[in-house]
Amino acid sequence: MSLLQPAPAVIGAFSLTAIVGLIVLGHFIFCVAILGNVDSEKSITVSGVELSTMLQCAAGAFCLLGLPLTIHGGIGAIYRIPSHLNTYLMYLAVSLVAGASFLISVAANQRPCHTRQPHVPGEMATMVCGLPSGSAMVLLAIFLVVVCVSMYLVWSLTENTKKSLQTDLFRYQEPLQMKAQLGEEAMAQAQRNARGGVAAAHRGAIPGALWNAAAL
C-alpha cells in the first residue's frame, strides 16, 4: 500500500474535479498577471527584493509556457484525460523547483542592516534592513505550500481518473466476455446436434444420406 493516498472524489461541498479546475483557472490568471508586469527595460523591486530584467524575462517566458499548459491541464480535468493531467503536474513540479531555488537565493543574498546615503543634498541618511526580504521569503514559502497542495490534488485526480477508467473497462468487458462464451456454447451445441443427426441418419439407413465416420 502506498504511503500517500489520493484525496477523495468529493472534498467538502466541492468535487475534486471542480477544485482542480479552480486551481488551473487561478494558475492561468497568475501567469497572465506575471506577464503583464514584466519589464524588460528596468529592474523592479518586489517586497524589498530587486528583480533584474533578465530574471523578469525568464519568469515571463516560463509563465508564457504555462498558459497553454494550464489550458491543457484544464481540458484533462474536465474530460478526465490522465496524460493531460500528468503534463500539467510536471509543469507544477518545475514551478516548485524554480520557486524553491529563488527562495534559497533570496535567503543566501539577504543583506543585514546598512546605511543608505541620500541622493539629494540636505536629506538625512537612512538605515535599511533586510526585513522586506524576510516578507518576500514568507510570500515565497506560502507560494511553495500552495504549489505542493495543488500538485497533490492534481495527482489525486489523475489517480482517481485512472481507477475510474479501469472500472469502466471491466464493466464493458464483462458483457463482451459473456457474449463470447454464449457464442462458443452455441457453436459447440450446433456441432453436437450435427453429429447426432449424422449418426441418426446412418442408423436409420436413410437412402441417400451422406455421413462420415470421422464426424461421429
- Residue 110: predicted pLDDT: 58
In the predicted model, what is the mean pLDDT of the chain?
78
- Residue 84: predicted pLDDT: 94
Task: Say which residue, 37 or 110, is predicted with more confidence.
Answer: 37
Q: Residue type at 168?
A: D
Q: Residue type at 49?
A: V
Give which of 45, 150, 49, 57 is closest to 95, Cα–Cα. Answer: 150
As a whole number of angstroms, the distance between CA 51 and CA 49 comes to 6
DSSP 8-class letter at 186: H
Checking phi first, is residue 112 left (phi over 0); if not, alpha (psi -120 to 50) or beta?
A: beta
Q: Does the pLDDT at position 142 exceed 70?
A: yes
- Residue 134: predicted pLDDT: 64
**Cβ neighbours around 86 below 10 Å, total:** 14
- The residues with which 14 forms a beta bridge, in sequence order, are 11
Q: Does the pLDDT at position 114 exceed 90?
A: no
Q: What is the dihedral of CA 170, 175, 177, 178, to 10 degrees?
A: 140
Task: Say which residue, 27 or 41, is predicted with more confidence.
Answer: 27
Can you count the helices (H) and strands (E) in the chain? Answer: 4, 6
CA-to-CA dists, residue 3 to 6, 22, 90, angstroms: 10, 27, 21
Report phi then psi at 4, rounded to 5.
Answer: -100, 115
Task: Give burial (CB, 10 Å; 0-12/13-18/19+) of 157.
Answer: buried
Of 22-31, 63-72, 126-135, 150-159, which range is least confident? 126-135
Report the first-to-last Cα separation within the chain, whole angstroms: 56
- Residue 146: predicted pLDDT: 94
Sign of the C-alpha dihedral computed for residues 184, 189, 191 and 192 taken in this order: positive
DSSP 8-class letter at 213: G
List pLDDT tens digits, range 75-113. 999 998 899 999 999 999 999 998 888 777 766 665 555
